[in-house]
Amino acid sequence: MSSTIAAPAPSAPSSATSKPAAARPRTRKPPWVGLAAWVLGIFFVAPAIWMLWLSFHTESDAAANPPKFTAPLTIEGYRDFFGSGSASPWPALLNSLTASLISTLIVLVLAFPAAYALSIRPVKKWSDVLFFFLSTKMLPVVAGLLPIYLISKNAHLLDNIWLLIFIYASMNLPIAVWMMRSFLIEVPTEMLEAAALDGARVPTIMARVIAPVVAPGIAATSLICFIFSWNELLFSKVLTAVVAQTAPVFLTGFITSQGLFLAKVCAAATIISIPVLAAGFAAQDKLVQGLSLGAVK
């Protein structure tokens, strides 16, 4: 406690400039906090580090027990994953990329105007509509799986990437509407009024006035939709086979052990997680807002 009272002296001049909160020294910081956070953080991330570390070993070194910390590093696992012997993962990776990117694009095109109609120029009962979107997210996907399967089977859409694209779009649309709305309500009204007085039409206002202001929000929304599409397994497992299978479905080929294959599995898991890790780290500070559907800022 004593430090709180003693410390203000050096920052005394700045307190005169009406910024007392910023000038005040930070509260007591016990040294154990940093240490504990570092130790727990490393402990917690250890499985992921372990995965990365094993992926750069030969199969026999990766399966060593106790672990060999001095074993030479190699990219054999990655080479093994991408080529030699087994089926190539490239088509699956490409399918995942296509499905994730196009479905995200569809989501943005649908969600942006919808969010506009729920925030800036709201329809009647806008909050009911908003909660309708949210409620679709709470219905378990397994319950809609069978009819979607049967309809696609009869329409000859099974194993077609476009089917997944539309399903992923519907999966992410509620999240995007909620997220975008939380960004749009922060657009200053004066800007919109000024544009309206200049005679700008609604699509023009959306594209020229609102979109640039909420661009960071749109980017964060896209990243989160991308992550969810990339991760999805159940639908792609049921609705695709050879042609349209996505990266997670490809990974399910590693569920049963195939002799010494640990380095290969770790390489596969690392490769397939890289896009999500990149997107997630890029959207780090907006991640919470997206995951909580804009309820938490």
Partner 1 sequence: MTVAEQTLNLHIQAPGPNKGLRKATSWSRRAPLLPALIFMFIITQLPFVATLIISFVQWNALRPDLERHFTFNNYTTVLSDPDFRSSIMFTIVLTVVVVLVSLLFGLGFALLLNKPFRGRAAVRTMLITPFLIVPVASALLWKHALLNPAYGMFNSVLTMVWKIFGSDNPPQPDWITAHPRLSVEAALIWQWTPFMMLILLAGLQSQPGDTLEAARVDGATNWQIFRTMTLPHLRRYLELGGLLGSIYVIQNFDAVFTITSGSQGTANLPYSVYNIFFTAHDYGQASAAGVLVVIGSILIATFALRTVSSLFKEDAR
For residues 218 and 105, is the Cβ–Cβ distance under 8 A? no
Q: Is residue 141 part of the contact set for partner 1 (CB under 8 A)?
A: yes
189 forms part of the interface with partner 1 (CB under 8 A): yes
**C-alpha gyration radius of the chain:** 25
d(CA 257, CA 272): 19
Between 9 and 139, name the residue whose CB sits nearer to partner 1. 139
Q: How far is the CB of 70 from partner 1 (least distance, A)?
A: 13
Amino acid letter, 284: Q
Q: Taking CB under 8 A as the rule, does residue 219 contact partner 1?
A: no
Q: Which of 23, 93, 97, 110 binds partner 1 (CB under 8 A)?
A: 110
Q: Which stretch binds partner 1 (CB under 8 A): 72-80, 86-94, 142-150, 210-218?
A: 142-150
- Residue 291's H or E segment, with its range, is helix 284-291
| 277 touching partner 1, by CB under 8 A | yes
Residue with tokens 């991308």: 226
The answer to whether the beta carbons of residues 59 and 256 sit under 8 Å apart is no
Please choose, out of 9-17, 79-87, 106-114, 211-219, the segment that lies near partner 1 by the rule CB under 8 A: 106-114
**Residue 122: CB minimum distance to partner 1, A:** 5
Q: How big is the site for partner 1, counted in residues (CB under 8 A)?
A: 118
Task: Tell me the residue type at 202.
Answer: V
**Contact region for partner 1 (CB under 8 A) — 9-17, 24-32, 72-80, 211-219?**
24-32
Contact call for residue 3 and partner 1 (CB under 8 A): no
CA separation for the pair 161, 33 (Å, rounded)? 49
Q: What token pair was written down for 12? A: 């005394």
65 binds partner 1 (CB under 8 A): yes
Is the Cβ of residue 209 or residue 227 nearer to partner 1 in the bound state? 227
Residues 147-176: x/- map of binding to partner 1 (CB under 8 A)? Answer: xxxxx--------------xx-xx--xx--
Tell me, what DSSP letter sits at residue 190? H
Smallest gap from Cβ 236 to partner 1, in A, equals 10
Least distance from partner 1 to the Cβ atom of residue 42, Å: 7
Q: C-beta of 101: minimal distance to partner 1 in Å?
A: 16
Q: Minimum CB separation from partner 1 for residue 97, in Å?
A: 13
Least Cβ distance, residue 33 to partner 1 (angstroms)? 5
Tokens matching residue 47: 């499985």
Torsion sign (Cα): 68, 58, 242, 257? negative
Q: Mind giving me the DSSP string for 12-55?
A: HHHHTTT-HHHHSPPP---HHHHHHHHHHHHHHHHHHHHHHHHH
The residue from 7, 37, 194, 241 that contacts partner 1 (CB under 8 A) is 37
CA 159 centroid distance within chain: 25
Contact status: 24 vs partner 1 (CB under 8 A): yes
Piece of 10-18, 21-29, 80-88, 207-215 that binds partner 1 (CB under 8 A)? 21-29
Q: In this structure, what token pair is assigned to residue 255?
A: 């569920």
Task: Give the x/- contact pattern for partner 1 in 71-100, rule: CB under 8 A.
Answer: ------------------------------
Q: How many contiguous H segments (helices) and E segments (strands) does the chain have?
A: 18, 0
Q: Which residues contact 54 (CB under 8 A, 6 or more apart)?
A: 62, 77, 262, 263, 266
